[in-house]
Amino acid sequence: MATYKAPLRDIRFLLNNVFNVDQLFASMPDTAEVTDDLIAAIVEEAGKIAEGMLAPINQSGDAEACRFDNGTVTTPEGFKEAYKAFAEGGWSSLTGDVNYGGQGMPKMLSAVIEEMLFAANSSFALYTILNTGATLTLSQHGSDELKQRYLPKMYSGNWSGTMCLTEPHAGTDLGMIKTKADLQADGSYRLSGTKIFITAGEHDLTENIIHLVLAKLPDAPPGPRGISLFLVPKFLVDESGVLTGERNTVACGSIERKMGIKASSTCVMNFDSAAGYLVGEENQGLSHMFTMMNYERLSMGLQGNGLADSSYQLASAYAKERVQGRAATGTWQPNLSADPIIVHPDVRRMLLTMRANILAGRALSLYAASQLDISRFHTDEVARKKAGQLVALLIPVQKAYCTDRGFEACVLGQQVLGGHGYIAEWGLEQNVRDARIAQIYEGANGVQALDLMGRKTVRSKGELLEILSGEMDEFVASQKDVEAMQSYLAAFENCRGRLEEATATVLARSSDDLNEVGAASYSYMELMGLVLYCFMWQRILAAALADQGSESPDADYADALIKTGEFFLQKLLPRTESLLTEISSGAHSLMTMRAEQF
């Protein structure tokens, strides 16, 4: 049975050949010291952790799951030791603020590491990314006093962080939250309310848990404009950052019984006049939390990519070993009673679909991460603004499309294995269960699609798409003299034209009927996802052609990339045509039925 192997070759090719990260990082003073050698060393070590420490406790963690007893949560065997080793290795501080003990590494580097962690053990990975997101939010919006008190211990891995948004009656519509915060004479606050679905809300991995909580002040404006952000520690901390030993009045009421990610504690958290501290300005909590949300949504796309890659590795190895039937064109293995199932076109269809989408999804995730890095590190204000606009457009697509394709890949992997894919010992059924949640949390994919279509496209009148189109035009211009790229670029231009037509159609119709926005949103997200995957494949193909034409020892690897890219263009990209037809059909058939007719 195949075991997970970190996709180091793919990662190196994307970072070095496709995105030229050495040039990007060298152009920004804060990342100039992140050299090729340093990147290679960090990624290789992270791969060893994923393969050797996390993958071996993945299935056992799923079988054992987290246990809840009278407010305490016990993680499965091996998780405490793994988390301690992870923290001692400095991984909790990788992208952190250097002024408080962080290493200041770029998101492009941490993105490939996160994907490997998710592939090896999604439940474990969730504990780590929540802490990363919490520290990011605190470092950008917290006071100097809060940062000095909490960040060093969170970066060291002695403490961990969460985000507490959802309530029993308020999920997507956070303006409905009821958790209240009352100002105290000493400037602190007392928070009361209940939050649900809180990842890592309670566990035994760290000595303290730092909750970032959305709540409302008594005189707050109604709706989302009245939300503030607060820091609420599990154990109280004195001014010097030392635990007082006093437990705060925040407690885990229960953990959820879930379809997957069973070794991740998903908690109901009760705040009973718990001591908290304002992060940022009053009534700006939602905008502050979105600092974290963009990074977390990127991580969910990485979860989809990672589990897809894990599934592909299992399915590919199985297809080359499992013998059933004979090849249509003649016997491949006359010395055996049957040929390996890799000879069958439909098995290849499934494997190539997985492989093509994994590579494009990984590339799209890195492209989005590169824009996060530019918006954070670049010294030119114009470049930072442009990158921020691209992030706003890319993240909803990356989150939704990568998780949809990731779940699809896990199901396809099951299908390649047939009955064995349904059996727990092979690991594919766990991947399916673990991948499913990524389409739901951190903003369900339908909400991401509506955000893309409504806020990022219709409300901006297509301005953000024009910025992306400029990036695409620049790449196309760079390839105009490369003969081998011309047929690929023609396919790219065709799908771009369909996206532009769909955009113009919805912009025109939505002025008369706002239902057109929601009716088109999911198809539009999938159309843009396909166009972006095609854009990524153009960049991969250009780099592969350059490598194939050299004396590089990676020429055969480059040849396999080209064949995979051609499969994408010929077999997967044509769906852009049907998506345009679907979008053009409008909202009428969706909205004519009365509610009682459903």
Residues 6+ apart with CB under 8 A from 464: 389, 390, 392, 393, 456, 457
What's the one-letter identity of residue 225? R
Treating both helix axes as pointing N-terminal to C-terminal, what angle do 515-548 and 575-584 enclose, rounded to 10 degrees? Answer: 160
Distance CA 93, CA 102 (A): 5
Q: What is the DSSP letter of 340?
A: B
User: Is 442 a known active-site residue?
Assistant: yes
Q: What is the DSSP letter of 258?
A: -
**577-581: long-range contacts at Cβ-Cβ below 8 A with a sequence spacing of 24 or more?**
577/498, 579/498, 579/502, 579/523, 579/524, 579/526, 579/527, 579/530, 580/498, 580/501, 580/502, 580/527
Residues 6+ apart with CB under 8 A from 144: none
Determine phi and psi for 461, rounding to 5 degrees: 55, 35
Return the number of other C-beta atoms located less than 10 Å from residue 45's C-beta: 13
Distance CA 581, CA 57 (A): 46
Distance CA 164, CA 198 (A): 6
Burial class (CB in 10 A: 0-12, 13-18, 19+), 243: middle
Residues 6+ apart with CB under 8 A from 222: 175
| Among 442, 516, 526, 582, the one annotated catalytic | 442
Treating both helix axes as pointing N-terminal to C-terminal, what angle do 381-417 and 285-321 enclose, rounded to 10 degrees? Answer: 40
Distance CA 100, CA 93 (A): 10
DSSP 112-135: HHHHHHHHH-HHHHHHHHHHHHHH
Q: Is the dihedral of CA 542, 399, 223, 184 positive or negative?
A: negative
- Calculate the alpha carbon distances from 443 to 174, 372, 429, 561, 571 in Å: 11, 19, 24, 33, 30
Residues acting as catalytic residues:
442
